[in-house]
Chains A and B, each alone.
Chain A
Amino acid sequence: MIDILTSAVIWARTLDAATSLLLVALGGYLCVRSGVLNIGLEGTMLFGCFAAVAGSYWAVNWAGGVAVAIAVGLLVTALLVFACVYLNADVLLVGLAVNLLGLGGTALLLQWLFNIRGGFTSQQVRPLPRVTLPVLDAVPWFGTVISGRTVLTYLSWILVVLVAGWLAHTRSGMALRSVGLREEIATASGFSPRRVRATALFIGGALVGLGGAQLALGDVAQFSENMTSGRGFVALAMVFIAARRVWVLLPLAIGFAVFDIVGLSLQSVGLPSELSYVLPYVAALVILLLARVVSTRHARSRPSLWSVVSSGRNAHG
């Protein structure tokens, strides 16, 4: 067990596995901060996975896959934006529908475009390239962990900083936060809540598409039905744990990913391999519980993120 946790390879794989969670959570974070509880993350991510594999296959190029994944993420989000922001349809209903659509739609697209059921892979599907960092690579244990990760892993770390900076220090970031918090104030300061929300959702959708691309092309480049297996929902839980500190998503993503990766290596130490079906979700629940304990200790005077999106719902029932 200790061997597993000190192995550089395990931590290296953990960082790669954390990336897809991190990107999706970052996308979900923008939606929630603008006041839209997007439970369609799971379905959008699955579409992103499929698009990445299909794009990579057609272009015979990883960048093609990433581009198509982003495009499809935007397309699925367009449905959500159109229905929920402009036509006032219920976000929860449309989000659920997007999840169903992701599962059914990717299965049918697989059959239609590749004439195959269940899963798809090919020599032509190019995985994401791995980047060797110049100096760090030489450091013994640390180098193996940090260097040689996928392009999107490094990009996701930069994106966390960018999103945090955007939300905290720019006018449009403030507009986004204020629309999520108190729409009247945003309107009074001259922002259009609809436009702000649409922007937040679209950027979020692109990030979720990227997350799908990392999941599908990051390790073994392949698509299989329902390959996201709840990562979209775990990402949503991460958003609420992170609350107002977007950077917390990075350690959280790594924390969740550890259980994913360690679960897969348990067999080597004689524990039941089926634990890997259980561990990531148990971890999610335990971390939710811990986050609760920590947050009650530092009782906050400001309203929690959850109350922002749910106040209307609970008050009305």
Chain B
Amino acid sequence: MDYRSARAMAGALLVGLALAGAVIAAVAGSGELPIAGKAFISGAFGSATAWGATVATAVPVLLTGIGASIAFRAGIFNLGQPGMFVAGAVAAGAVAPAVPGPGWLNVVITLAASVAIGAAWAAVIAAGSQITAIDVLVLSLIMNYLADGLATLLTTRVFQDPAVLGIIETRMVPARLPLLAQQSSFHSGVFLALAACVVYWWVMNRSRAGHRLQLYGRNPKFAAASGTARRGYEMRVTVATGSLCGLAGGVQVLGVFLRYIDGSIGGAASYAWTGVILAILVPLGTLLLIPGAMFLASLQTGLLGVERAVGVSSRLSLVVQAVVMIAVAYGRGRAQRSSEPNAQPDAGSSAEQKTVLAGGVAP
């Protein structure tokens, strides 16, 4: 990360923090600010349980973030990650209780099912966008709502736990991802996420596949001329994204909820959105994804602590993320403008605007 984007990021965080403070002061009263500050720290890092919650939150954020990152790096602005995440989670909730066998085998089969269904959902998005010729951006945003709706429909009608009334959820999974610390949600899915991150880094920076991905992202026409067929390649990239997001859903079910609970995975406040934000904020292809995921996760768990202490809705984390994104978008826009000093004030802004559009997601 160069000096300028680091400065933009730091500025963004300060603005976000100030705004969060102002909101807490407005809603709960300014006298509550010190209590809220303490609650934030203890909610995110104050105890083994808090650390466990933060790490467990960072796991799906990291996995979906890597997934989103791959797509963005290839220049495919697919925002269907929340839907793929839900698809993977429903698959886990449906498959795990139905599969016999020892615990470890059950976990492996369940995660494989999550990956497969996540990938299949992604393939539907990619194929749909190729057939309708509507950009994958608009299509994937609608598909997220469809995934949520289908998840509710299938869970209620097919996979509902008959012993539970009033809550839409699948049966309990027979085996879970082992916990690393008792009395917390610190589960071994964290190793999967870290492994995925290291593999991602290696592929991006050391392998031919990563080189091709970046080449494709920079210039699809050139990549096509050198033998990368557009349709097939975009399909493969999207399926890779879907596999990772599906895995994230499976890990979330097997590690945290132990069943698919309707509304806990998807929706507009889904962790997959946090993953998308991670992929946007962090320069792609670097291991900064890991601290980035921890930061975004601590924002969630810390603000949940604040909610418990002073009662300010933890939806505040969405506002802080939004502010950070706007500040980063502004910083990138400025960098873009200053790197094109000869652009005429008004006339050149078309080309400029569109470059920024791409630069924003693939710095």
Contacts and interface: CB of A to CB of B under 8 A. Distances in A.
B137 A104 contact: no
A35 B350 CA distance: 9
Contacts of A88: 333-334, 336-337, 349, 352-353, 356
Interface in A75-117: 79, 83-84, 87-94, 96-101, 103-105, 107-108, 111-112, 117
A90 B360 CA distance: 6
A200 to B, nearest CB: 14
Contact of B360 (A92, A193, A278, A310): A92
Interface stretch (B31-39, B127-135, B194-202): B127-135
Q: Is the interface of B mostly helix, strand, loop or mixed?
A: helix
A291 B128 CA distance: 13
Interface stretch (B178-186, B213-221, B242-250): B213-221
A24 to B, nearest CB: 14
Given A90-B357, A230-B141, A313-B357, A274 B350 contact: no
Contacts of B330: 83, 87, 89
A89 B75 contact: no
Q: Is the interface of A mostly helix, strand, loop or mixed?
A: helix
Interface residues of A, number: 66
B206 interface: no
Nearest to A288: B132
A285 interface: yes
A103 to B, nearest CB: 5
B264 to A, nearest CB: 15
B145 A193 contact: no
Interface residues of B, number: 78
B148 interface: yes
Contacts of A83: 326, 329-330, 333
Interface stretch (B47-55, B111-119, B317-325): B317-325
B219 A317 contact: yes
A220 interface: no
B355 A312 contact: yes
Nearest to A237: B138
B313 A117 contact: yes
A87 B138 CA distance: 25
Contact of A89 (B332, B346, B351, B355): B332
A39 B141 contact: yes
Interface string A173-216: 00000000001100100001110000000000000000000000
B216 A317 contact: yes
B358 A103 contact: no
B319 A226 contact: no
A304 B132 CA distance: 13
B23 A93 contact: no
A93 B132 contact: no
A101 B329 contact: no
A274 B142 contact: no
Nearest to A105: B319
B17 interface: no
A187 B347 contact: yes
A103 B313 contact: no
Given A108-B316, A108-B319, A313 B358 contact: yes
Contacts of A275: 153
26 contacts: A37-B137, A89-B333, A89-B356, A91-B353, A92-B360, A93-B280, A96-B276, A96-B325, A100-B321, A103-B269, A108-B27, A183-B347, A193-B350, A233-B141, A234-B142, A236-B138, A240-B134, A240-B135, A274-B152, A277-B150, A288-B132, A306-B133, A312-B358, A313-B77, A317-B217, A317-B358
Across the A-B interface, give the 9 residue pairs with the lowest CB-CB distance, nearest first: A312-B354, A90-B360, A104-B318, A317-B75, A277-B149, A183-B350, A88-B333, A89-B329, A93-B329
